[in-house]
Structure 1
Amino acid sequence: MDSEQQPSARHFDHCPWLFADEATEEQLTAQLKRQEMIGGDRGIGERCYVADSAAVFTDRLWLGDDSYIAAHAYVTGELTTGADCTLNPFSVVRGTVTLGSGVRIGAHTSLLGFNHGMAPDRPVFQQPHTSRGITVGDDVWIGSHVVVVDGVTIGDHCVIGAGAVVTRDLAPWTVAAGNPARPLRDRRDSAARPSRTDHAHAGDPLARFADTARAQVADILGRCWDGERYVDRPGAAPTVRAHCDAVEIADLLLGAAPGQLTAEEHAERLRGAQDPYTGLVPEFDEPLPAADEDGFIGEGPALYHVLSVGYALDLLGASFPHPVRGVREMSARQLVARLEELPWRDGAWGAGAWIDSWATAAHWNLRHADVGGDRPGVEPGALEALFGWLLTRADPWTGMWGSPSPEAGRLQVVNGYYRLTRGSFAQFGLPVPHPERVVDAVLDHARDARYFGARQENACNVLDVAHPLWLCTRQLGGGAGAGGYRSAEIRTWAEGQLAAALPRWQDGRGFGFGPGSAGPGPEPGLQGTEMWLAIIWLLADLLGRSDTLGYRPRGVHRPEPARARTP
């Protein structure tokens, strides 16, 4: 091309970063007309470029300033980007995809934020679509010929090598490659960090633990399979939660479904356990719980099954076949009345657990409505009523709900706070109120020797401190590193708990829940193993070392929001 010749539209299609500086007035006008021709809900920032040859058929397109869609890209569904994002030639972005700022998507790369069902009762082309969405953080480079599948979150500052297939979430600063993509090192290291199995990590207790757990997990799952169903531990009765815990553990350590059944068979069993009218999942061989006057239940295993079965199905690439009726039909007025009646004074844990279940059911209902439901997932104004009530009732001195007591100290309040915020603020990606005061209250509780003295810790109590600390430090910025709010105390507590937790692993059996009669007790089983694996990740992440584990929770205890949109 002659150096004095103005670049053509075809040239800009392949080199869109030149457009803002080199386009003629005529080309600028033509580009604005091109953008106006894009259908659906649209918002396009300054100095953006959409190639004429790109196939953009979106329901919603929001491009931040200085963002480009290059030649022959194929974009459908809902795409939201920050500033300075580029979809390079022949890239494919479909379903619900959210990009941060400064994201580069390599040529021929596909971000597939949707999926087909796989039920055996009909051909694949007749299966309904599902969409969990893909979220990519800021300052991310995804190389050429990469595939990112539905439901994946890629953290800030990640780099994904060419040809990778990303099937699991990646922590911030991860450099990953392979099929399936695996973390290789931390981008902040000046030189390549050895992989988890290299000699440099051979003496790291976290790396040794993760290697041991990964090598033994198949035997642990097999030990808890009675030939027909999963039990928490040998000799116990089969439970719905045991099946869900098995799915979570296998996904966490193996990136696959438990080997006793195919993924499709696991999903079929769990979907089949849901009552089609109420949307609830009763315990095996037990009747459906009776609904209260407002249409939803107040206690019992079915409350937790909203979480455990829903997330197990999510990990299997499936979902509940029916909405949870009592949550879908509860009005904002009924919800507020229920919130006022919850046992905040003497049962804050139960109150928090109820909110966790209700809000999680709302999350699944909204997803059900998103993929073809015939009515809204929740009544108009109900979610707004929930968060409005919580924000106005939080104690400004503790950031929590409920009151401590001389008999139990802060146990009910802190444990209820974890359950409440897990299902509401954390799951929906909203900031919690008064995070500094929460840190103060949680650290005060963590000094209570009744629950954190020598050999007193159980999985529930440690998780219910670790997660609020993790959630609040991320919201406050800086994590638990230098300069973070009470970071030295948080790190000291996390280091002590991590050092105590790792030796509790019992070869070939996993983790027990904890001493005493609380929960399943000290005998190793699926519930204790699932919970302690998540706790160890949270503790390690508070210390900036979770990448050493090579796993990241994606189910009930996932760190990222499960729903990208705010209510």
Structure 2
Amino acid sequence: MASKMSSPLTSLLSRFRPQQGDVPAKALIGWYARKGLGSGIRGLFWKLRVRGDAFPFFVGKRVTVAYARQLRVGKACVIGANSTINAFGPPGIEFGDRVTLREGAWIQCASHPSSPGEGLRIDAGTYIGPGAVIGVGGRIHIGVGCQFGAGVTLIAENHAMDDEGRPSSHEVIRRGIVIGDHCWLGHRVTVLDGVSLGEGCVVGAGAVVTRSFPAGSRVAGVPARLLGPSTGPK
């Protein structure tokens, strides 16, 4: 039988990327060799471009980052292949330790130098599934240990309305988005500008969240409505 998590190497791997349950040492090392060797080597080069600890840092193929010096990266972070990040704006973007941003992510702080974004912070241990779209007009703060499904969208900006109720093509409103610690957002959830979700909220797949909900809420629907207290992680 393969040994469990006992060798110095597997102990080191577990320190950077905590494991769930017992994993045989051979299987764990093989997994990281297949998924992490190439991306870990790329991360060594990316460490020279970004700020922060950024070690180890795992970067997939065809990742592009504009204004990389405004991206601060913690330990053991992952950016999946085919992701595009624009960190333009004085606050930039900050990833805490062990943040995972899966493949095909799109994060934009600004579409023009005249309107820089107000910053994005993702706290330690948060996982964001593939195909995420994060529009950082207003400030976005995502808390510790959150779990996002595939295709989640956060848009921290909205067009202002004129006197006749028509959206302005130039003036925008930025109230920002706050996602509390240990929130779970299902596949294809959309969170709009001005929303704050308290700690431990669970949002059902496909929901469109247009207003704020307190800690421990369980919400779903279009627009999202309160279903009851969360039965998810605390």
Q: TM-score normalized by structure 2?
A: 0.66
Structure-to-structure mapping, 1:183-194, within 5 angstroms: 183-188=226-231
**What is residue 187 of structure 2 aligned with on the other side?**
144
Alignment check: 8 A CA contact 1:119 1:127 kept: no
Distance 2:163 2:130 in 1: 37
Whether 1:47 and 2:76 are equivalent positions in the alignment is yes
Cα distance change on mapping 1:44 and 1:122 into 2, 3 Å: same
Distance 1:88 1:32 in 2: 23
Distance 2:211 2:169 in 1: 27
Alignment check: 8 A CA contact 2:72 2:94 kept: yes
One-letter amino acid of the counterpart of residue 39, structure 2: Q
Q: CA deviation digits over 1:269-310, x for unaligned, max 9?
A: xxxxxxxxxxxxxxxxxxxxxxxxxxxxxxxxxxxxxxxxxx
Q: CA deviation digits over 1:161-220, x for unaligned, max 9?
A: 01111111111111100111111111259xxxxxxxxxxxxxxxxxxxxxxxxxxxxxxx
Whether 1:117 and 2:160 are equivalent positions in the alignment is yes
Whether 1:30 and 2:57 are equivalent positions in the alignment is no
How many residues are treated as equivalent by the alignment? 173
Distance 2:147 2:74 in 1: 17
Q: Which sections of structure 2, spanning at least 5 residues, go unmatched?
A: 1-18, 20-27, 51-64, 110-118
Partner SS, residue 43 of structure 2: helix
Cα distance change on mapping 1:34 and 1:50 into 2, 3 Å: farther
Q: CA deviation digits over 1:496-538, x for unaligned, max 9?
A: xxxxxxxxxxxxxxxxxxxxxxxxxxxxxxxxxxxxxxxxxxx
Alignment check: 8 A CA contact 2:156 2:177 kept: yes
Alignment check: 8 A CA contact 1:34 1:50 kept: no
Whether 1:65 and 2:77 are equivalent positions in the alignment is no
Distance 2:168 2:45 in 1: 36
One-letter amino acid of the counterpart of residue 28, structure 1: G
Displacement of 1:50 in angstroms is 1.1
Bigger-Rg structure (1/2):
1
Distance 2:216 2:38 in 1: 42
Partner SS, residue 144 of structure 1: coil
One-letter amino acid of the counterpart of residue 102, structure 1: G
Partner SS, residue 98 of structure 1: strand
Q: CA deviation digits over 1:231-276, x for unaligned, max 9?
A: xxxxxxxxxxxxxxxxxxxxxxxxxxxxxxxxxxxxxxxxxxxxxx
2:85 to 56, 65, 76: 56
Whether 1:99 and 2:170 are equivalent positions in the alignment is no
Partner SS, residue 31 of structure 1: helix
One-letter amino acid of the counterpart of residue 125, structure 2: D
**What is residue 76 of structure 1 aligned with on the other side?**
108
Cα distance change on mapping 1:173 and 1:118 into 2, 3 Å: same
Distance 1:119 1:183 in 2: 31
One-letter amino acid of the counterpart of residue 80, structure 1: R
Whether 1:169 and 2:212 are equivalent positions in the alignment is yes
**What is residue 88 of structure 1 aligned with on the other side?**
129
Q: TM-score normalized by structure 1?
A: 0.28
One-letter amino acid of the counterpart of residue 117, structure 1: A
User: Identity of paired residues, percent?
Assistant: 28
Alignment check: 8 A CA contact 2:202 2:218 kept: yes
Partner SS, residue 39 of structure 2: helix
Q: CA deviation digits over 1:54-91, x for unaligned, max 9?
A: 11112311111111111111111222011111221111
Alignment check: 8 A CA contact 1:65 1:84 kept: yes
Distance 2:157 2:45 in 1: 30
Alignment check: 8 A CA contact 2:107 2:133 kept: yes
One-letter amino acid of the counterpart of residue 69, structure 1: L
Cα distance change on mapping 1:26 and 1:115 into 2, 3 Å: same
Whether 1:180 and 2:223 are equivalent positions in the alignment is yes
Structure-to-structure mapping, 1:130-529, within 5 angstroms: 130-188=173-231
Q: Which sections of structure 1, spanning at least 5 residues, go unmatched?
A: 1-16, 190-567
Displacement of 1:129 in angstroms is 2.2
Q: CA deviation digits over 1:84-142, x for unaligned, max 9?
A: 11221111111221011011122111111111122258985732222111001110111
Cα distance change on mapping 1:43 and 1:165 into 2, 3 Å: same
One-letter amino acid of the counterpart of residue 29, structure 1: I
Distance 2:46 2:127 in 1: 17
Distance 1:72 1:26 in 2: 18
**What is residue 441 of structure 1 aligned with on the other side?**
none
Alignment check: 8 A CA contact 2:161 2:168 kept: no
Distance 1:49 1:92 in 2: 16
One-letter amino acid of the counterpart of residue 108, structure 2: T
One-letter amino acid of the counterpart of residue 198, structure 2: G
